[in-house]
Every structure is written in C-alpha cells, then in structure tokens.
Amino acid sequence: SAPIRIGIAGYGNLGRGVEAAIAKNADMELVGIYTRRNPSDLVPLNAGAPVFSMDDLGGHGDHVDVLILCGGSKSDLPQQGPELAALFNTVDSFDTHARIPEHFAAVDAPALANKKTALISAGWDPGMFSINRVYGEALLPDGETYTFWGRGLSQGHSDAIRRVAGVSGGVQYTIPSEAAIEEVRSGSRPVLTTRQKHTRECFVVLANGASEDAVRAEIVGMEHYFDQYDTTVNFITADELARDHAAMPHGGFVIRSGNTTDEHAQVIEYSLALESNPEFTSSVLVAYARAVHRMSQAGQFGAKTVFDVAPGLLSPKSAAELRAELL
Ligand code: NDP
C-alpha cells in the first residue's frame, strides 16, 4: 500500500529526530518540513528533503496524512496544536503535565469539528512512562508507583543555571539514587523524599571575574530548582563544556511495587537508557503517527492520548501478523 505521508511542523531537535526516524520506517515518507523561519535557511539532515514555510500548510491539507508537531511545549504547541488540528491529523509531544487537560480540550474541539485525529503528549514522559504507570496501577491496585529520571540532561534546569549572574555556560544532569531504586526494587514500598530520590549535578563555565563560591551558593539555593536536592557544582572550561556535554542523554525508570496478598510482593519495572532524548522522543512520535493514520481511517476523530491507542496500531505489521508472531 502507499506510504504514509508525514509532515514535520517545526525543525529543532525533535524535527531532526523525526526526519531520522522516518528513514527507519519503510511504510512512511517525508513529504514536507515546515518552518516559521526562512525555508532556505534550514539545513535538513537529508539535503534533498522538501522544506516549506509554515504559511504554506493551509494549502497542503491533501498532501499530508499526518503532521508531526515538533514545536516547544511552552509557547509553540498551545498555539499550533489547536490551529493545525483543524487542518491535519496531528501528533504532538506536549509535556507541561499540569496543562495537559487544557491542551486536550483546546485540540479536541477543532479536530472533532473537522474530522481530524489529534494525538497529544506522546513521547516518553509523558508517553511511554505514562502507559507503564497505567499498566502498573491497573494490574497491581494495592501498590505504589515510582518514577525516577536520569541520568539525564534537564533542559529546564540547564536554562536556570545559565541565568545565574557570573555564569557564561552550563548544563545540569538529574541522577537517580541507586540506593533508592534498589529499595524500591526490593518490594518494600518505601516512602521516599524528593532529596532521597534524585541528586543534581551541574557543570558550569564561570564568566570572567566571577566567584566560584558565590555562583555555587546561588545555584544550590535556587528555589524550586535546586533547594530540595543535594546538588554538586563542577566548574569547567568552555572547551570542556563543548567537548563533553553536547549530547542530550536521558532516561529513567517507572516501577510499580504492589502486593497481591499479604504474603506476595510483585514488582514491575520499565526503564529507558537514552543516548539522545530528542531522537528517542521523535521515534515514539513517528510510531504514533502510524496509529493516528489508522485511527483517522477508522473514523476515530478528536483529541487522543497514548491511553486511547491500542498497541497493535503502532506496529507496521497487520493484526494477523502480530497474532501469528508475537502472541
Ligand atoms: P527546539 O527548541 O529544538 O525546537 C522548538 C522549535 O523552535 C522548532 O520547532 C523550531 O520551529 C524552532 N527552532 C529550532 N531551532 C531553532 C533555531 N536555531 N533558531 C530559531 N528557531 C529554532 O525544541 P526540541 O525539539 O528540543 O523540543 C520540543 C519540545 O519537545 C519541548 O518543548 C518539549 O516540551 C518536548 N519534549 C517532550 C518529550 C516527551 O517525552 N513528551 C521529551 C522531549 C521533549 P521553526 O522551525 O518553526 O522555527
């Protein structure tokens, strides 16, 4: 059958990751990269990829089966999500957890009115971690769910460091506590404080004349970002920052620890170890684009989340193939 025609709206880390992921999926074809910048300024991974202005999207409704929205959660997706769900089947990675219900409602109305399928908040958290939290709670109703993140680069915390006076560059890694994870894996269902679950490690380049002690004190005491954690601050050179800290690793663990009877503890664990957070997130978005295409063909319109998508719809294999091979 004809390949699924995918468009990419916004070309940053996720946009590049989606382009790479499409190349790994034989049933998909990249039909357009759309950007708010001047299209001739973009350098796609594949020099031959078609690049258009975001303004052209209005006329491209018939050329794109699913548009993957790769804008930022803070200000791009709240605006682009509802606008583009009126014109296309969409997938996004909206990750502002507290605002997901609001985003769902904003996308649902235009999608339903225009018979489009709009999957929001796919990725790994929200996304694959959310699915594993649901499985854990449903299978072990008497239990606790634990999410640990890292070792990983946190964009938000790295931005916060870079805003400190006297800092010219820096990154922050979130590190899960091995001791806490082992305790959870034992089935003992511990109550863990924020400080016990994760530590934070910063690599900072000082601006000329700035004081290490002053910068360290400012970072470790920063409200909401660092004050509830044990934080170490390492000072490095700009060259070291560029050489050793340009990758975007991430990952973590979702663990459900429950009891089926007083005698028996049961532990479920899902873990991710990602060398590139955006490339993995993009791979998830692309698999969900396949599901969205099928749901749209089946007349399942409106906003959806990962909870609404049957696992078999993610696979390029047919339901009959999956039954024969994987059951
Ligand atoms: P980027 O900042 O790399 O890109 C966001 C947008 O900014 C792009 O769509 C692009 O739009 C624009 N842009 C990118 N590079 C440039 C540039 N050099 N100059 C000007 N504009 C640029 O964000 P990411 O791709 O890293 O992440 C996008 C979102 O993904 C994040 O906000 C996060 O919320 C979400 N995310 C979700 C995850 C999950 O598990 N659910 C995991 C990881 C991320 P345009 O081309 O139109 O200019």
Pocket test for ligand 1, best of 8, 13, 51, 119 (most atoms within 8 A of CB): 13
Which residue has its alpha carbon closest to ligand 1 atom 35? 93
Between vectors from CA 71 to CA 63 and to CA 56, what angle results, nearest 5°? 35
Per-residue DSSP letter, 127: B
Q: Which atom of ligand 1 is nearest to the CA of 10?
A: 9
Which residue has its alpha carbon closest to ligand 1 atom 34? 73
What's the rounded Cα separation, in Å, for the pair 222 and 123?
29
270, amino acid identity:
Y
What's the rounded Cα separation, in Å, for the pair 6 and 15?
12
282, amino acid identity:
S
Which residue has its alpha carbon closest to ligand 1 atom 2? 12
Q: Which atom of ligand 1 is nearest to the CA of 17?
A: 25
What's the rounded Cα separation, in Å, for the pair 284 and 287?
5
Pocket test for ligand 1, best of 70, 159, 250, 272 (most atoms within 8 A of CB): 70
Q: What is the pTM of this model?
A: 0.96
Cβ neighbors of 62 (< 8 A, separation 6 or more) are none
What's the rounded Cα separation, in Å, for the pair 90 and 69?
7
Q: Residue 314: its pLDDT value, please?
A: 98
2 CA → ligand 1 middle, Å: 30
Q: Residue 67: its pLDDT value, please?
A: 98
Helices then strands, each counted (H, E), the chain: 11, 14
Q: Which atom of ligand 1 is nearest to the CA of 54?
A: 47
Q: Residue 1: its pLDDT value, please?
A: 83
182 CA → ligand 1 middle, Å: 35
Q: Give yes or no for residue 92 CB within 6 A of ligand 1.
A: no
Count the Cβ atoms, other than its own, within 10 Å of residue 148: 21
What residues does 90 pair with on adjacent strands? 67, 118
Q: Give yes or no for residue 73 CB within 6 A of ligand 1.
A: yes
Q: Do 42 and 35 form a contact (C-beta atoms < 8 A)?
A: yes
Q: Give yes or no for residue 71 CB within 6 A of ligand 1.
A: yes
Q: Which tokens sit at 308?
A: 């609404």
What's the rounded Cα separation, in Å, for the pair 307 and 9?
24
Which residue has its alpha carbon closest to ligand 1 atom 16? 12
Q: Which tokens sit at 282?
A: 């993009």
Which residue has its alpha carbon closest to ligand 1 atom 14? 12
Q: Give yes or no for residue 126 CB within 6 A of ligand 1.
A: yes
Q: Give yes or no for residue 37 CB within 6 A of ligand 1.
A: yes
Q: Do 309 and 38 form a contact (C-beta atoms < 8 A)?
A: no
Q: Give yes or no for residue 78 CB within 6 A of ligand 1.
A: no
**Parallel, antiparallel, or unpaired for β 152-153 and 167-176?**
antiparallel
What residues does 235 pair with on adjacent strands? 204
* 3-state SS assignment for residue 154: coil
Q: Do 252 and 148 form a contact (C-beta atoms < 8 A)?
A: yes
211 CA → ligand 1 middle, Å: 33
What's the rounded Cα separation, in Å, for the pair 232 and 219?
9
Q: Do 108 and 114 form a contact (C-beta atoms < 8 A)?
A: no
Q: List per-residue pLDDT tens for the chain, 327 residues long.
A: 899 999 999 999 999 999 999 999 999 999 999 999 999 999 999 999 999 999 999 999 999 999 999 999 999 999 999 999 999 999 999 999 999 999 999 999 999 999 999 999 999 999 999 999 999 999 999 999 999 999 999 988 999 999 999 999 999 999 999 999 999 999 999 999 999 999 999 999 999 999 999 999 999 999 999 999 999 999 999 999 999 999 999 999 999 999 999 999 999 999 999 999 999 999 999 999 999 999 999 999 999 999 999 999 999 999 999 999 999
**Parallel, antiparallel, or unpaired for β 89-91 and 66-69?**
parallel
Please report the ipTM that was assigned to this predicted complex. 0.99
The separation between CA 289 and the C-alpha centre of its own chain, rounded to angstroms, equals 15
Residues in the chain: 327
